[in-house]
Structure 1
């Protein structure tokens, strides 16, 4: 069949389609780059640069073509990075130029160095975008760019930190302010990149010892790039001049590593410049936790080692690996604390570091069978190290906390799962028993006292079952699959996490609101009655004009009370880093004052003497010819501000137990009740049963006192300032502690009982003394 000739229209259509196809092919990479997220583009650049170095070193033409494509992909990120972090954008562009030059000259160390520069500058750019966007309130951009980041390398003792992600999403949902989110992002990312910097320097040492030129150049450039991210924090802490010196030292180290020159002295200089520097300082709670981890892990090293070595031979290899792992965990915690410890005692810190190295070398030699140390040697070395640490560590870091125990429990459970995967069920059972033993000797006593509802749940998961999960003991006995054991382990981890959080101690929000309302109403009622008594004594026509200065003084006292609240809150915020320690101190002060005024509430001596004092001052002022107004203003101020100051003090203790919103709700209720009483007394001239009201509210204050004593004892036991002895036969429901501060511990119930005896006993003592004085008066005048 003869084909018909293609018409001109069809021919032009085909040509047009061909041109469109060519255009699409040319713009496809750009369109793809624009539709992919910043994290996907950055990761593709990183992975392709690695591929070029590994697989295309011998084909410079293909490598250069791929490098050009990557630079084209970066142009999709460049405007945003350039807007927020111009130095990072410049470093990325310079890195691409250096990579191209290295490919042209077959300089693989140079390409490795450029590759590290591009990647760390991308990380720096991503950090800059997230920080800048949050500062502008643009949480959408911050969320999109937060994925351009790295995490700390996970191990059995440190999981990847997701605080930045949680904070950005919370800010996007309105649950967190952008300032708070920015602080969390800075802490997370700076901590991550300082850890990565330390790892890069260690990798540089290893590459130098092994004689790997490309690896030397790469790790030196990584270290310089990570420090570029940390430079603003370094400059803020040590000044711009010190930051410039440090940057010059990193540049010199990078250049020497690239050229194959000796780096020992330059590396020592860099390490000396970094000594004592921490980009994201640890909070006091984190310091205590790291310290607890270090001490607990070190204590376990000789125990595990002794189980694995007998008669100069390794009998259980897993136990040796466990000893090595615990040493690594303790060493990691020491590294996190080292800058702080060097500020306390640099010489002893250096000694401790040397002992860590000595112990680590001995364990490593046993692990690779080059030299097997005697268990007694490992124990003596560990004990010497622990002795030095107990001298070096601040006393508050050495308080026993549950955090380190929970970390060790999780580590032992990791060992259990590892043994199950290897089919070593006997070793798995040994690890399970070890985890349970740590649970028994550590957190269990606190669980019995403060969160008893978690104890049967956790024991069920450890032994023979809980809910839909069979227990670990049963599963190991039945040689269950790793998947089944992992499922129960996940449920146990969840219960452990909830129990750990519950041990922090807290009160029910409604209980806090009620306590705040009672305190405000009681103090407000007393202020109203004092003011009413003073006003009532100024009924004469010539004295009514003196009521105005009393009202002015009372108004100024209210304003002063508000100012005192603001100053107290500012002081607490400034000391917030003290955490539960601050709560304990403030609560102890509040309890001391509550004990005194509760004692006064229950007898007439306080009220009569206090009111007599005010009336005496009033008579003295009115009897004078000058300064009457100022004196009455001062009297009105003093009569009200005393109550306001006491109220502010008590409420600060409550704000540390719950949120300010919860406390202010109670303040609002208390002020409303006080306002009603004030209106009844001053406007309606009602005669209220003042004494009965004082007694009833005094009894309520006594209940607040007992609740506050119980909660404060709980906090003191949590931070280790008081011993903990649970009453094992007393099974109280969890809500008794949550609502009333009533926990089944001898210390808590004993001190609550002592507070009650003190208040009630002082009442009867005051009544007895008053009756005796009356009898003496009658006898003297009869």
Structure 2
């Protein structure tokens, strides 16, 4: 295909074959693929498409467009005599089969797993660890949302097995043991690819994946924003709304900038993505602990009366309002950063109508939750309002702490020691010792703050 492209671009001097440089690069490639597919008959094309759909190993032979255009039929037939012509017929006829998306994500996962196995065999444990981490972050994770909509059990199995592989490399298990783990993962990835290519699931999986990505990532941000908005309205601090809105609007702008950069300027690695999400989540958790304890402090009637009378205005001065703006930014950006990258991968695999439908439904539901939460909270009496808001913010602090630590584990910054415990990612609960200890620490800080507020002299009811 590459030689065809050069001929179309440069022409053949002294013959009727003229140069087609007046066409754009994309138009020349389209012409080349049109010419190429004329070489094959419909039987070969249909056989190749069936082979591509039913035999995931074929996708390792021609993993991307670069390999396709540089491969000759003779070279492919030398290694795969029975499959070369049907495979080329299908891919040249329908190059969209190689479009980046979940296929590319799973191909990357396979390649990185092979690299990890080879590095471990050669004694390079650090390189093996990096490759195993990349297999998840730069590969499988980008296909997780859609696979979860199709086969959640398989998704959870692969995720757990990849973590077990990273632990096995870190703990220096035998070469045979690591190789066996890699082989099991390769089999599971083949199963995942077959599930994702099932025609009856493709539209539903795209819709469900799109819905789950936005709803899952947006729910926590909506809860934080709704609680902060209700507090500012209830306490008469309308001037703080400017900080709140500036935070989430700035986060959305940064999210769009991230999408632009990831698409046109740089390649954002999975480790960088998880590191950003983890650090912003932990910073948000720290701020939410302070905000939650401050709200709990105001749930005592005497302290609220002091606040309204102006005796405690310093507790929510411009510095406090800036903190609300920062929480607003962090809560939205940590979700937007990951969401735009996941949607970039999801969009590239097609089914655009289903993807857009999932986004619209998730947006409507999130907006409904925000309105309902705001209306419910502002109708509460002052004390119950602050108690409810403090409890919600405290729970979110625990959730953010768990998710932040899990992201740092995924990025390879901290170890992940599995324990026998429930797995509830929606609440930031992961069955690892480090995340559970971190959440336990946040709970202890919150309980200590609540106890201090309760025993403080000014907590006594006013008469």
Task: Tell me the TM-score range normalised by the shorter chain.
Answer: 0.5 to 0.7
Report Cα offsets for 1:307-362 as digits up to 9, x if no partner.
xxxxxxxxxxxxxxxxxxxxxxxxxxxxxxxxxxxxxxxxxxxxxxxxxxxxxxxx
Alignment of 1:144-543 (within 5 A): 158-161=60-63, 189=65, 191-192=66-67, 196=70, 293-294=114-115, 296-300=117-121, 386=124, 398=130, 400-401=132-133, 403=135, 443=162, 445=164, 493-495=190-192, 510=215, 512-531=217-236
Where structure 1 has 5 or more consecutive residues not aligned to the other structure, the ranges are: 1-41, 47-84, 101-113, 133-140, 162-187, 204-282, 301-381, 408-438, 449-461, 463-471, 474-488, 500-505, 535-550, 620-634, 681-687, 776-782
Q: Evaluate the alpha carbon distance shift between residue 445 and residue 641 of structure 1 in structure 2; reply closer, same or farther with a 3 A threshold.
A: same
Say yes or no: does 1:669 pair with 2:369.
Answer: yes
Shift of 1:528: 0.9
Q: Evaluate the alpha carbon distance shift between residue 673 and residue 741 of structure 1 in structure 2; reply closer, same or farther with a 3 A threshold.
A: closer
Whether the 8 Å CA contact 2:247–2:327 is kept in 1: the answer is no
Report Cα offsets for 1:81-111 as digits up to 9, x if no partner.
xxxx9x97462xx32x5579xxxxxxxxxxx
Whether the 8 Å CA contact 1:516–1:667 is kept in 2: the answer is no
Distance (Å, rounded) in 1 between the aligned partners of 2:417 and 2:389? 34
Whether the 8 Å CA contact 1:554–1:640 is kept in 2: the answer is yes
Shift of 1:142: 12
Distance (Å, rounded) in 2 between the aligned partners of 1:297 and 1:668? 51
Shift of 1:443: 3.0
Distance (Å, rounded) in 1 between the aligned partners of 2:305 and 2:29? 57
Distance (Å, rounded) in 1 between the aligned partners of 2:260 and 2:24? 31
Distance (Å, rounded) in 2 between the aligned partners of 1:603 and 1:529? 16
Whether the 8 Å CA contact 1:587–1:653 is kept in 2: the answer is yes
Report Cα offsets for 1:432-462 as digits up to 9, x if no partner.
xxxxxxx9x96373799xxxxxxxxxxxxx9
Partner of 2:451: 764
Alignment of 1:705-724 (within 5 A): 705-724=397-416
Alignment of 1:575-594 (within 5 A): 577=268, 578-594=272-288
Q: Evaluate the alpha carbon distance shift between residue 697 and residue 147 of structure 1 in structure 2; reply closer, same or farther with a 3 A threshold.
A: farther
Say yes or no: does 1:746 pair with 2:417.
Answer: no
Shift of 1:716: 2.1
Distance (Å, rounded) in 2 between the aligned partners of 1:753 and 1:592? 14
Distance (Å, rounded) in 2 between the aligned partners of 1:142 and 1:643? 57
Match of residue 655, structure 1, among 304, 323, 336? 336
- How large is the RMSD of aligned CA atoms in angstroms? 6.0
Q: Evaluate the alpha carbon distance shift between residue 760 and residue 295 of structure 1 in structure 2; reply closer, same or farther with a 3 A threshold.
A: same
Distance (Å, rounded) in 1 between the aligned partners of 2:132 and 2:111? 12
Q: Evaluate the alpha carbon distance shift between residue 555 and residue 298 of structure 1 in structure 2; reply closer, same or farther with a 3 A threshold.
A: closer
Partner of 2:383: 691
Partner of 2:27: 129
Partner of 1:564: 250
Q: Which has the higher contact order (CA 8 A, sep 6+)?
A: 2
Distance (Å, rounded) in 2 between the aligned partners of 1:617 and 1:745? 42
Three-state SS of the structure 1 residue aligned to 2:414 is coil
Shift of 1:527: 0.6
Match of residue 615, structure 1, among 306, 310, 324? 310
Q: Evaluate the alpha carbon distance shift between residue 579 and residue 766 of structure 1 in structure 2; reply closer, same or farther with a 3 A threshold.
A: same
TM-score normalised by structure 1 residue count: 0.34
Distance (Å, rounded) in 2 between the aligned partners of 1:580 and 1:598? 26
Whether the 8 Å CA contact 1:709–1:751 is kept in 2: the answer is yes
Shift of 1:574: 6.0
TM-score normalised by structure 2 residue count: 0.52
Distance (Å, rounded) in 1 between the aligned partners of 2:337 and 2:313? 39
Distance (Å, rounded) in 1 between the aligned partners of 2:276 and 2:304? 35
Three-state SS of the structure 1 residue aligned to 2:280 is helix
Distance (Å, rounded) in 2 between the aligned partners of 1:589 and 1:131? 48
Alignment coverage as a number of residue pairs? 338
Shift of 1:494: 0.5
- Give the greater-gyration-radius structure (CA): 1
Q: Evaluate the alpha carbon distance shift between residue 667 and residue 590 of structure 1 in structure 2; reply closer, same or farther with a 3 A threshold.
A: farther
Q: Evaluate the alpha carbon distance shift between residue 98 and residue 491 of structure 1 in structure 2; reply closer, same or farther with a 3 A threshold.
A: farther
Distance (Å, rounded) in 2 between the aligned partners of 1:677 and 1:722? 38
Report Cα offsets for 1:218-271 as digits up to 9, x if no partner.
xxxxxxxxxxxxxxxxxxxxxxxxxxxxxxxxxxxxxxxxxxxxxxxxxxxxxx
Shift of 1:287: 9.8
Distance (Å, rounded) in 2 between the aligned partners of 1:294 and 1:582? 26
Distance (Å, rounded) in 1 between the aligned partners of 2:111 and 2:363? 33
Q: Evaluate the alpha carbon distance shift between residue 496 and residue 612 of structure 1 in structure 2; reply closer, same or farther with a 3 A threshold.
A: same
